[in-house]
Chains A and B, each alone.
Chain A
Amino acid sequence: MILRLGTAAYPIIETIQLSLRSFKNYGATEEYVGLGNFTYLPDDFGFKGAIEFTLMFVIISTLLQLVFGILIAQLLNANFKGRFLARAVNLIPWAIPTIVAAYAFRWILDDQFGMITHWWDLIAGYRPVVFTDPDGARWAVILVNVWKNAPFMAVVFLAGLQGIPEDLYDAAKVDGANAVQRFFSITLPMIVPLVVTMSTFFIIWQVASLDLIYGLTNGGPGVATQVLALRVYEEGLRYFNYGLASAISIVLLGLVAIIGMIGIFLFRRFEVSS
């Protein structure tokens, strides 16, 4: 516990202190600049874009992950031969290193030799140039992220689905509700608390994630897929600009805190109402 306190509380305090300083000569000398780093942020090349794409990335990713998570959970909840194996396969995207997934997809989406670009060519008649097109790169990042994380959502939703009593469905069938009606009137309300919890956690994790983007686009082309986490890494550990990096970290922490509070608020509401 003390260990976690050391690696949780100490960094926050230290980050706040660092964010008020400016570092020169690769972090060798420092001086107190007050809020200078924060007032500089709006002028920082890529900071505004990073906030924008960070939000776009987490919101669209999480929505898609919820949708696909529920769909996959429904699929894996069905009764078929080899269900055990399908469930194990579902876990593989979660279990593999993100950086491996990032490079694998970078290669698959390669504009000359990639597999998906080749199929795209066969179907649509042209080769998409994914990583030099800002929109293409953004969608690639989001969709690969969904590929990596939707299965994890599915695992949790699957457990949630199995907790729903079977006779609720039987009663609805007797009343003549079709599959879609059964989904919206039974399944969805029963897993709403899970949806809220998972969304909160996923948004928080993804706001600060950088492995995937580091490997897939490294923020490019230009700064189209730049996110706050990557800015912290680059400023802090590549240019040793600890002050600015810490200031961005604080912005990130603020974002996480806000999302966390919204999540807890929603969770309470749904807990009480359901």
Chain B
Amino acid sequence: MTTTTTTTRTAVARRDRLVNWNKVALYAALFVFLFVVLSPFFWIVKSSVSGPDELFKVPPVYLPHVTMENYRALADQVPLYEYVRNSLVYSVSSALLSVSVSFMAAYAFARISVPGRNLLLWLFVLTMALPEIATIIPLYRLLAEMKMLDSLIGLVIVMSSVLVPFTVWVLVAFIQQVPYEIEEAAIIDGANLFQIFRRIMIPLTSPALATMLVINFINAWNNLLYPLAFSVSPKSKTLSVAITEVFQARSPWGRPWNMVSALGVAMVIPAIILVLFSQKAIVRGLTRGAIK
């Protein structure tokens, strides 16, 4: 009796010790991971609230006297209001347009059965691999001919078309999960396509639609190449172009790292908020295309 208790006790103790070591290793790895991911953000947040005297110091000042001067000066240096507005219009419209177009295309792919449908879907999805940069010159000339250079409409159309293949790919999978019987019943009741969309498909696939809206918004918000190539004036330049301009501006002390950091922080905040609030949905959307 006593012997068994002792053995059990040592076994438990040994397991405890083992678990603890695993825990230590786990938390150590976690710490390193978080540190590597987050320290760059600490650095740009810190730089964005440093005055010029504390920005260029050896060794670096890690806890500066916080000043909002950089953010204020930023608004004087670039047409910030226009750029923020353009970025928002560009990202929101691209997300809305791409998701609504993709929704209809995905519905067609999921429900209409014609021979060669899968091949068509594959070919369509394969255009995802087409590099943006390889299409930029023809698109530049095309937009110039259509008088759509330097216009948000042109940018939104081009960006949406890039977002569509992945969105269709994800949405087809979701729509196929909706049982066809529900629609059949509705059709028998005399519902038309528009009513089916509004009453059945959109409510049932709304989590997927919302997910793709978020992912596409982030992609458009982060996009640099199209606005950089197609925008000439503040009429259509976005924040990602703005940061390249701020970077190139010279200040008496060298690169205006405080301004670059301030704009960087401003551009990162929406992304972080979206990620924190919809982590699960984003992951579901991102993995949907890769798995299966």
Interface of A with B (CB < 8 Å)?
1, 3-4, 6-8, 10-12, 14-15, 18, 72, 75, 78, 80, 84, 86-93, 95-101, 103-105, 107-108, 110, 112-115, 118, 147, 151-152, 155-156, 158-160, 163, 194, 197-198, 201, 204, 207-208, 210-211, 214-215, 229, 232-233, 236-237, 242, 245-246, 249, 252-253, 256, 260
Q: Which one of B3-11, B71-79, B179-187, B264-272 is at the A interface?
A: B264-272
Please tell me the number of chain B residues within 8 Å of chain A, measured between CB atoms: 77
Give Cα A87 to B30, complex, Å. 11
- Enumerate chain B residues within 8 angstroms of A118, measured Cβ to Cβ: 58-60
Give Cα A112 to B29, complex, Å. 30
> Which one of A90, A104, A252 contacts B43 once the chains associate, using CB atoms below 8 Å?
A104
Tell me whether B138 and A95 are in contact (CB under 8 A): no
Tell me whether B131 and A229 are in contact (CB under 8 A): yes
- Nearest-neighbour CB distance to chain B for A127, whole angstroms, equals 9
Q: List 25 A-B contacts (CB under 8 A).
A: A3-B160, A6-B161, A8-B135, A8-B161, A11-B134, A12-B134, A14-B141, A78-B26, A89-B37, A91-B275, A92-B37, A93-B37, A101-B40, A103-B243, A107-B43, A107-B260, A108-B43, A118-B59, A147-B40, A156-B287, A159-B290, A210-B133, A233-B229, A252-B134, A253-B134
Q: Which chain A residue has the least Cβ–Cβ distance from B255? A: A107
Shortest Cβ-Cβ A-B pairs, 4 listed: A208-B131, A14-B138, A11-B135, A11-B138
CB under 8 Å from chain A, chain B span 25-53: 26-27, 29-30, 33-34, 36-41, 43-44, 47
| Majority secondary structure, B binding face | helix
Tell me whether A8 and B127 are in contact (CB under 8 A): yes
Give Cα A116 to B268, complex, Å. 21
> Which one of A80, A96, A107, A256 contacts B47 once the chains associate, using CB atoms below 8 Å?
A107
- Nearest-neighbour CB distance to chain B for A218, whole angstroms, equals 10
Give Cα A87 to B59, complex, Å. 33
Interface of B with A (CB < 8 Å)?
23, 26-27, 29-30, 33-34, 36-41, 43-44, 47, 55-60, 101, 105, 124, 126-127, 129-142, 157-158, 160-162, 164-165, 218, 221-222, 224-225, 229, 240, 243-244, 247, 255, 257, 260-261, 264, 267-268, 271-272, 274-276, 279, 282-283, 286-287, 290-291
Tell me whether A155 and B287 are in contact (CB under 8 A): yes
Tell me whether B162 and A7 are in contact (CB under 8 A): yes
Known: A156-B286, A237-B140. A113 touches B162 (CB 8 A): no
Q: Which chain B residue has the least Cβ–Cβ distance from A152? A: B286
- Enumerate chain A residues within 8 angstroms of B26, measured Cβ to Cβ: 75, 78, 80
| Majority secondary structure, A binding face | helix
